[in-house]
Structure 1
Amino acid sequence: MARILVTGSSGGLGFNAATELASRGHEVVVHSRRSSRRPAEGAAPWLGAVFGDLADLDQTRDVAEQAAAFGRFDAVIHNAGALRPPDAVPVNIVAPYALTALMDKPGRLIYLSSSMHRGGFTDLRGLGSGRASYGDSKLWVTALALAVAARWPGTTSHAVDPGWVPTRMGGAGAPDDLAAGHETQAWLATHPDVEPATGGYWYHRRTQLPDANARDQRFQAQLLAALEAHTGILVG
């Protein structure tokens, strides 16, 4: 049995992943922006819930404090996402970075990426302005996942492209399979034999080669330095 936090789990892929994991007997802590949007329990109850708007750094810090009350997590799925500026940068990259730095190191970290990361730019000036695109933010969070994999030998870290699925963000006409959209995250959070064990970029349980910029160690170092300067939080 694993203890797992899933951010952005009031609906969509996050809710589906949390529901699947809880139905398997895992202790799942869900997250939503407001307590009024606490995810409804399905076939199995949640261990608990944390609340806070991940577009706001102070509230993100508070989410980390709330999560600490549950002890160390075996896995954290950074599922929460925003499609458009100005929320795309704080939700898609700043919050995952801050939560990663502030929480006790879990056994496994899973970060939600997108195929659109391949069109993202490495110009980090958009980090502070909030004017960076969705693709930029997904390039950066993919680089963050790979940087953590290289720097934290005791924690596995992966990025996942869930596909373009028919959620509220993806839209009703999205062509990819909704069930397949969350299964890889749940699998990576709990399966005992994942190969590669860390540093993978996944799509439907298969690894792909992410954009070269995400794999560039110099860019990874630049990104971590920019995030530290932006948040005042250091990843150990």
Structure 2
Amino acid sequence: MSRIFISGSSAGLGLMAAELLVEKGHEVVLHARNSDRAKNARKALPEADAIVTGDVATIAGAQDIAAQVNALGKFDAIIHNAAVGYREAHRVTADGLPHVFAINTLSAYILTALIECPKRLVYLSSAMHHHADANLDDILWKKRRWNGSEAYAESKLHVAMLAFAVARRWPDVFSNSLEPGWVPTKMGGPSAPDDMEQSHLTQAWLAAGDDPKADVTGKYFYHMERREPNPQALDPNLQDRLIEICAGISGVALPKA
């Protein structure tokens, strides 16, 4: 049995992965943005071991979530699932950051840096990352006119970059990324064409540690099959720049192995 924390798991793919993992006998801790979502998650999955509550949109919120997770003890795996979608208008967080970047990119970095390192790290990217540019010189959208679809795509490229940076820096950890497919969740929209029944399987498989085939690191998956990511995701120089940017903005350093 593994202990697994899933960010952004009060609904959607995060909750679906949690349900599957609990069904397979694993101990799962959920995360909800607020108390109302936590109550709904508890009703949906009463077998969850605990529910951590907090908003990843702010640096302080992500730091508090990490502290709550650490207070529960060491985990075997973490699934970084929390995100907002590709149809977002431009909004700025209390920290003065574009909220898509703050939630999709920066919070994943902060949780990675601050939660006691597990054996497995799983990062949800998106097929849209394949055609994105990292845009590290304008990661906060100060030079460009806002485009929600582009902001989402590049944030999901950042997530894959983070997964592979961690795989390179922490060789004792299995750190991988995946795309779940464009599925009809609240984020994906009702017209999304991919198979909902496949969308949560890969992240659960990578996190559970039940299959030796999942004992890999620095890889990218789609429906439990290897897939090549955007080449920028594999560039160590870009990975290191992203880490430096996130550390500078958040004030949180990524620990050494």
Shared fold, TM over 0.5: yes
Moved more, 84-93 or 154-163: 84-93
Alignment partner, residue 10 of structure 1: 10
What aligned pairs does 1:191-210 form with structure 2 within 5 A after superposition? 191-194=210-213, 197-210=216-229
Alignment partner, residue 21 of structure 1: 21
Match among 176, 181, 188 for residue 170 of structure 1: 188
Query: CA 1:44–1:35 in 2, change beyond 3 Å: closer, same or farther?
Result: closer
Counterpart-to-counterpart distance in 2, 1:6 and 1:195: 18
> Which amino acid is 1:192 matched to?
D
- Report deviation, 1:125: 3.8
So what's the TM-score if we normalise by structure 1? 0.95
Counterpart-to-counterpart distance in 2, 1:172 and 1:21: 26
Alignment partner, residue 228 of structure 1: 247
What aligned pairs does 1:132-151 form with structure 2 within 5 A after superposition? 133-151=151-169
Quick check: 2:174–2:215 contact (8 Å CA) kept in 1?
no
Quick check: 1:7–1:14 contact (8 Å CA) kept in 2?
yes
- Report deviation, 1:154: 1.4
Quick check: 2:129–2:154 contact (8 Å CA) kept in 1?
yes
What aligned pairs does 1:112-123 form with structure 2 within 5 A after superposition? 112-123=124-135
Alignment partner, residue 73 of structure 1: 75
Match among 201, 204, 213 for residue 232 of structure 2: 213
Quick check: 1:7–1:78 contact (8 Å CA) kept in 2?
yes
Quick check: 1:19–1:44 contact (8 Å CA) kept in 2?
no
Counterpart-to-counterpart distance in 2, 1:141 and 1:73: 21
> Which amino acid is 2:151 matched to?
S
- Report deviation, 1:87: 2.1
CA RMSD of aligned residues (A): 1.6
Quick check: 1:23–1:44 contact (8 Å CA) kept in 2?
no
Alignment partner, residue 111 of structure 2: 99
Quick check: 1:128–1:230 contact (8 Å CA) kept in 2?
no
Counterpart-to-counterpart distance in 2, 1:8 and 1:43: 14
What aligned pairs does 1:175-186 form with structure 2 within 5 A after superposition? 175-186=193-204
Query: CA 1:45–1:195 in 2, change beyond 3 Å: closer, same or farther?
Result: closer
Alignment partner, residue 50 of structure 1: 52
Quick check: 1:146–1:214 contact (8 Å CA) kept in 2?
yes
Report the count of equivalent residues: 236
Query: CA 1:228–1:205 in 2, change beyond 3 Å: closer, same or farther?
Result: same
Quick check: 1:22–1:44 contact (8 Å CA) kept in 2?
no
Counterpart-to-counterpart distance in 1, 2:169 and 2:205: 23
- Report deviation, 1:67: 0.5
Alignment partner, residue 120 of structure 2: 108
Q: What whole-Å deviation, never above 9, does each CA across 1:103-136 have from its counterpart, x for those lacking one? A: 1001100000001112222222443458571011
Counterpart-to-counterpart distance in 2, 1:74 and 1:67: 12
Query: CA 1:97–1:43 in 2, change beyond 3 Å: closer, same or farther?
Result: closer
| 2:171 paired with 1:153 | yes
Alignment partner, residue 63 of structure 2: 61
SS state at 2:28 partner: strand
Alignment partner, residue 95 of structure 2: none
Q: Which runs of 5+ in 2 are unaligned?
A: 91-97
* Percent identity of paired positions between Structure 1 and Structure 2: 42
